[in-house]
Structure 1
Amino acid sequence: MEALWRALSRLRLADRELADVLGEITRLADEHVPGAESTSITLLRGDTAVTAAHHGDMALAADEIQYERGYGPCMDAGRGGVVLRIDDMTTEQRWPDYAARVVGVGVRSSLSTPLPYQGSSIGALNTYSTRPAAFVSDASAEAAREVAEAVAIAVANADAHAQLGEQAHNMQRAMESRAVIEQAKGVLMAQRRVDAEAAFDLLREASQRYNRKLRDIAAGIVASTHQPPAG
């Protein structure tokens, strides 16, 4: 576990694409979760599940078999926020049709650990093995839990950056709108010889009359002052 903690502590989140971070985490899980031979991360958005990263084709194939059906250990772990372990696919009774198919891609046992996020779960870390009972030790469960928490932190970090980016974009748009409205007010003040408040009232009345956004009305007025004279 100490080696896993050190590896996760060195994980760089800033200025990286989420897919790259999650790809590195699946590799670390494959190396440090006892029993793991192939690993993936399932993210859930509403009813949609997607493999955000995987290490080894076996994990991806096993995930896809579940997505086709809309249920399975990794999806149910993510939805329910519970750890789900299968010790032997050949005798598994909870998901018998899934288990029968996944043996065909080499999986004999698996461990699905939910990804904790703001009091709920956003998916699961999935570890697979070609050997039965590969994840029965407490060490496997503890290591998978540590990795799952690292995934949740990475996703939270990416969400925060996305929200900040959207907020910055919205603020820029608001500033641009404010600027063009002020320009339009200046044009109306000069043309109609009114004060700033009256000029804004003219813009607002035009916006209501023509059912157009105030910014669009203002932009049209500003643009008209830049058109060359006819003739």
Structure 2
Amino acid sequence: MSTLPTAVLTELLGIRFEGASLEELLRRYLEIAQAGVRGMDDVSVTLMRNDRPFTASYTSDLALAADELQYGFGYGPCLDAGSSGEVLRVEDMRAETRWPGYAESVVGEGILSAVSVPLPLQIDLIGALNWYGREPGVPEETVGAGIEIAGHIAVAIGNAVTYDDAARFAAEMQTAMASRAVIEQAKGVIMAQNRCGPDRAFEILRKASMGRNVKLRDLAQDIVKRIQTA
């Protein structure tokens, strides 16, 4: 029996794959999860191929920041959930000891709890559905709901990669990797200008993105472009 609220399950089952890109599908799944499941304040999907992780979709720059911090450290719940196949939950980031450095950094971003659920993918790709809470504590029913939603997302990804849309999916992966690369370049610029470390540089970039109401990657591209044309 489903643990999802009836309205959420109805919306998930009503999603149609025909004519939609994987990016559009993932965004819709995350919007439904965020709006309909208690505790999913900020949601993302991490995908990994050949040990190269990227955030395929996210509901807020805060979710992206929480993911990107893990990629920078090389560890964290979303990376470990994807590779281990285990559900990883953090009741209170302030007391978390499994991922030193990352936990402290993400608390500074305003995240106090998190859950990462591995995606049951049957292809040469691993990943996780992640959600981040602004308050400590992880409701048990939220974990069950996340596992179900992860199953729906895995089906969408599997269909895109295995059948109809492998070429487009590869292009979307490349775009996501390019976005991450330009964010790293922008961080390098900020580090040089402010004589700070990568974590502080990402914080400056994220806060500037929020303050200007522009996407993180768009701001990063603008920073890199201005440096290249200076």
TM-score bracket, shorter-length normalisation: 0.5 to 0.7
Distance in 2, Cα, partners of 1:164 & 1:155? 13
Greater than 4 Å deviation, 4+ residue runs: none
After TM superposition, give the deviation of residue 43 of structure 1 in Å: 0.6
Report matched runs for 1:38-117 at 5 Å: 38-117=42-121
TM superposition score normalised by structure 2? 0.67
- 2-side partners of 1:118 and 1:95: how far apart? 28
Amino acid of the structure 2 residue aligned with 1:49: P
SS in 2 for 1:117: coil
Counterpart position of 1:17 = 21
Q: 2:32 pairs with 18, 28, 33, which one?
A: 28
**Are the aligned partners of 2:49 and 2:125 in contact in 1 as well (CA < 8 Å)?**
no
Deviation at 1:33, TM superposition (A): 2.5
Please say if 1:158 is aligned against 2:141: no
- Counterpart check, 1:7 vs 2:36: no
Distance 1:108 1:17, change over 3 A: same
Q: Deviations over 1:4-43 (max 9, x none)?
A: 2101001111111101110111111111222111000001
Q: How many angstroms does 1:120 deviate by?
A: 8.6
Aligned residue for 1:37?
A: 41
Q: Match of 2:129?
A: 125
Q: Which residue of 2 aligns with 1:149?
A: 151
Distance 1:143 1:120 in 2: 25
Q: CA deviation at 1:157?
A: 1.1
Give the structure-1-normalised TM-score: 0.67
Q: In structure 2, what residue type is equivalent to 1:124?
A: A
Change (3 A) 1:164 1:109: closer
* Residues 49 and 124 in structure 2, CA contact (< 8 A), matched pair in contact too: no
Aligned-partner Cα distance in 2 for 1:151–1:69: 26
Deviates more, 1:37-46 or 1:154-163: 154-163
| Structure 1: segments with no counterpart, 5+ residues | 166-231
Q: How many pairs does the alignment contain?
A: 163
Tell me the CA shift for residue 94 of structure 1: 0.4
CA distance in 2, matches of 1:120, 1:128: 27
The CA distance in 2 between the partners of 1:111 and 1:7, in whole Å, is 22
Name the CA distance, whole Å, in 1 between partners of 2:125 and 2:48. 9
In structure 2, distance between residues paired with 1:132 and 1:8? 27
| Letter in structure 2 aligned against 1:161 | D
Partner amino acid, structure 2, of 1:138: E
Aligned to 2:213: none
Give SS of 1:110's match: strand
1:50 CA drift (Å): 0.6
CA distance in 2, matches of 1:60, 1:27: 15
**RMSD (CA atoms):** 1.7
Whole-Å separation in 2 of the counterparts to 1:67 and 1:58: 14
Q: Which runs of 5+ in 2 are unaligned?
A: 169-230
SS at structure 1 position matched to 2:120: strand
